[in-house]
Amino acid sequence: MAADPIHQFRIVELFPVAHVGNAEIAFTNSALFMFAAVIIITAFLVLGTAKRSLVPSRLQSAAEISYEFVAATVRSTAGHEGMRFFPFVFTLFMFILTVNFIGLVPFTFTVTSHIIVTAALAITVFLTVLLYGLFRHGFHFFNLFVPKGVPIAILPLIVFIEVLSFVSRPISHSVRLFANMLAGHITLQVFAGFIILMGSAMGAIGWVGGILPFGMIVILMALETLVAFLQAYVFAILTCIYLNDAIHPGH
């Protein structure tokens, strides 16, 4: 049934690609929208700036703003050394932002509404932080879990809490994005379902009454647009903060 709010999250296999053991690898609607995002982002940045104008056009200006926005975020949270991770953070931010925005278009699919995707991204960040931290600082990296100036009596407890919070980072990092996208789209679908429900149940009066949930959808769309941007930004800035720990574990 069309009003089912979960229907929109269904993975549809477009064509199978391979079988690895028991697992089936197929090209799905999710993959389609991932590549759509890749193409849109690349076109936006490369074609938008193709003229290399000194005085930028609107599109070039937008591309430059996205560049400078992410660069400023990285520089302010992870310092100048953090700029080596700028392409990584930029890719994360633009990918999440674009799939979030694509998901707002009716009849599309929201890639980030699947926990496996956000978890994979969060674990990539987690492993990057862990490996770079160990590679860069060796065992000094674990100073991250030992704050300075803590009395020795409660130090084990503090270290335990620090380790726990570090390990739970990928969980909160991924669930935050996933849950926001999921909940937002379910809410939109539920309100849209009300319109159909009222229209089919009460005829003409129902369609008039449908104005109310429709108004809600308009408001929610604005909210979800904000959330789509905000969650991409939050994901990116948390990545920067975690990377900062890998670069400067001393404090």
Partner 1 sequence: MAEPKLNTSTEHVPAGEHKAGFPPFDAHSFPSQLTWLVIAFVLLYVLMAKWALPQVGGIIESRQKRIDDDVAEAGKLKAQSDEAVATYEKALADARANAQAIANQTRDTQAAAAEARRKTLEDELNAKLAEAEKTIAATKQAAMSNVQGIAEDATRAIVERLIGVAPSDKAVADAVGGALKRS
Residue 93 tokens read as 């931010």
Among 73, 77, 100, 113, binds partner 1 (CB under 8 A): 113
For residues 70 to 109, the per-residue mask of contacts with partner 1, x marking binding by CB under 8 A and - elsewhere, is ----------------xxx-xx--xx--------------
Q: Which of 58, 59, 63, 133 binds partner 1 (CB under 8 A)?
A: 63
Q: Give the one residue of 59, 104, 158, 186 binding partner 1; rule: CB under 8 A.
A: 186
Query: What is the maximum alpha-carbon separation in the chain?
Result: 74
Of these, 183, 212, 222, 226, which contacts partner 1 (CB under 8 A)? 183
CB 155 within 8 A of CB 146: yes
3-state class of 6 per DSSP?
A: coil
| Shortest Å distance, C-beta 150 to partner 1 | 29
Backbone torsion region of residue 141, taken as left when φ is above 0, otherwise alpha when ψ lies between -120 and 50, otherwise beta = alpha
Q: Give exposure, 26-36, as e/b (b: 16+ Cβ within 10 Å).
A: eebebbebbeb
| Contact call for residue 1 and partner 1 (CB under 8 A) | no
CA distances from 239 to 37, 62, 75, 111, 172 (A): 20, 23, 12, 19, 12
Q: Does 239 engage in binding with partner 1 (CB under 8 A)?
A: no
Which of 35, 105, 160, 202 is the binder for partner 1 (CB under 8 A)?
A: 35
- Is there binding between residue 126 and partner 1 (CB under 8 A)? no
Collapsed DSSP state (helix, strand, coil) of residue 49: coil
Compute CA distances 38 → 95, 99, 238, whole Å.
7, 9, 22
The answer to whether residue 67 forms part of the interface with partner 1 (CB under 8 A) is yes
CB atoms within 10 A of CB 90: 20
Residues that bind partner 1 (CB under 8 A): 4-6, 9-11, 13, 17, 20, 23-28, 30-31, 34-35, 37-38, 41-42, 45-46, 49, 52-54, 56, 60, 63-64, 67-68, 86-88, 90-91, 94-95, 111, 113-117, 120-121, 124, 172, 175-176, 178-180, 182-184, 186-187
